[in-house]
């Protein structure tokens, strides 16, 4: 979330830098097949810079079983990734990394299908109940 009329604040800039750097690191350094291809959708850094919440999705991983395992792998690697970030980001302390599965990529299309279905059912219901001789409110 972006704040203020002046553009990016400090935590937003740090979050963007963490997202760019982590994306490269995950691609180059994490070769665990349980993770597959990881996409970092967003990073939110706490105001005190204690934590960075990283929202990710995985390509080629079964949502039911594989997501928790992949998040576990990333969580286990978070100390290593944090130390790698420290080499590229000039901060006194690097935020602790907390990985979360971003369900929006799954929930968005599902919600869209549900809305489309409801609209079609509503249209069918209105077409079935309309009488050409009857006017609304008369």
Among 28, 36, 23, CA closest to 73: 36
Q: Tell me which architecture the domain covering 10-129 has in CATH.
A: 2-Layer Sandwich (3.30)
3-class DSSP assignment, residue 98: strand
- pLDDT tens track for 103-130: 877 666 777 788 888 888 888 888 876 5
Which DSSP helix (H) or strand (E) runs through 27? helix 10-29
> Taking the model in full, what pTM does it have?
0.71
* Geometric angle at alpha carbon 21, from 45 and 90, rounded to 5°: 70
Average pLDDT over residues 87-94: 88
What is the model's pLDDT at position 129?
Answer: 66
Report d(CA 117, CA 119) in Å as an integer.
5
Q: Where are the domains of the chain?
A: 10-129
Among 94, 72, 75, CA closest to 84: 94
What is the model's pLDDT at position 40?
Answer: 94
Percent of the chain with pLDDT over 70: 84
Which DSSP helix (H) or strand (E) runs through 42? strand 37-45
Q: Tell whether the model's pLDDT for residue 1 goes beyond 50.
A: no
Pairing of strands 51-59, 37-45: antiparallel
Q: Which two tokens stand for residue 8?
A: 């990016």
Q: Rg for the chain (alpha carbons), in Å?
A: 23
Q: Tell whether the model's pLDDT for residue 133 goes beyond 70.
A: no
């Amino acid at each position: 979330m972006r704040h203020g009329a002046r553009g990016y604040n400090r935590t937003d800039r740090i979050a963007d830098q963490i997202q760019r750097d982590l994306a490269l690191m995950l691609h180059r350094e994490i070769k665990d097949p349980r993770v597959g291809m990881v996409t970092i959708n967003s990073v939110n850094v706490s105001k005190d810079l204690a934590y960075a919440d990283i929202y990710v999705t995985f390509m080629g991983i079964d949502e039911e079983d594989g997501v928790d395992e992949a998040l576990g792998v990333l969580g286990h690697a978070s100390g290593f990734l944090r130390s790698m970030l420290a080499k590229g980001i000039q901060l006194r302390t690097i935020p602790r990394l907390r990985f979360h599965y971003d369900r929006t990529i799954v929930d968005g299309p599902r919600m869209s299908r549900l809305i489309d279905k409801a609209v079609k059912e509503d249209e069918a219901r209105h077409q079935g109940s309309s009488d050409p001789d009857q006017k609304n409110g008369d």
